[in-house]
Amino acid sequence: MLISRAVEQMTEFYMGNRRDVAHFLKVWAWARTIAAGEGLSPDLAETAELAAIVHDIAIPLCREKYGSAAGPLQEKEGPALALDFLGKLGCPPEKAGRIAYLVGRHHTYEGVDGIDWQILLEADFLVNADEGNASRESVETMFSSVYRTATGKRLLSSVYLSRDSGENGRPTV
C-alpha cells in the first residue's frame, strides 16, 4: 500500500514531466526485480523500492535553483525532500530516515553500507546507461567496480554486455 501511494504521489509530484516519471518507474522496476532476485525480506525490499521511487525527488528543485540536476546537487537537496514526502505518506520515521540517507547517496559508489543502497545504485545505473547511451566500456567498468549483487550483474550483462551496441538487438557473434 505504501509503495503504490508513493508511486502515485511521485507521479503527481513531477507535474506531467513524463521523462522523470518514466525514469523513476524504470528504476523502481529494476530495484524490485533485484530485491526479489536477492531474496530480500519484505521490509528491506520495501525500503529499496521506496528509495528507487523517490531517489530523484530533488531534480525539479535543482533545475530551478541551480539550473542543473547534477548528482551532487541531488544528493545535497534530496534527503530533506524525501523525508518530508515520506512523512506525508505515513512512512515509519526510521524507514524514512534510511531512505533519505540513500537518496543523499544515490550517485555515491563508495562506502556502500547495505544491500538497499547497492540495489539503488545498480537499478539506477541500469536505467541511466540506457537513457545516457553509455558506452560498452563504461558498462564494463560499472560491472566490475560497482555491481555486487548476482541479480544485478545478470541483468546488466543481459541488457548491455551480451548484445551489440546497435539498436537492432541482435546478439553478437
Q: What is the tens place of the pLDDT at every residue in 116-155?
A: 999 999 999 999 999 999 999 999 999 999 999 999 999 9
Mean pLDDT of 3-12: 98
- Reported residue count of the chain is 173
Dihedral over Cα of 45, 123, 52, 94: its sign: positive
The fold adopted by the segment(s) 2-161 is: Hypothetical protein af1432 (1.10.3210)
Q: Which residues pair with 163 in a beta bridge?
A: 171
pTM of the model as a whole: 0.93
Mean pLDDT of 147-165: 89
- DSSP code per residue over 37-65: HTT--HHHHHHHHHHHHHTTTTHHHHHHH
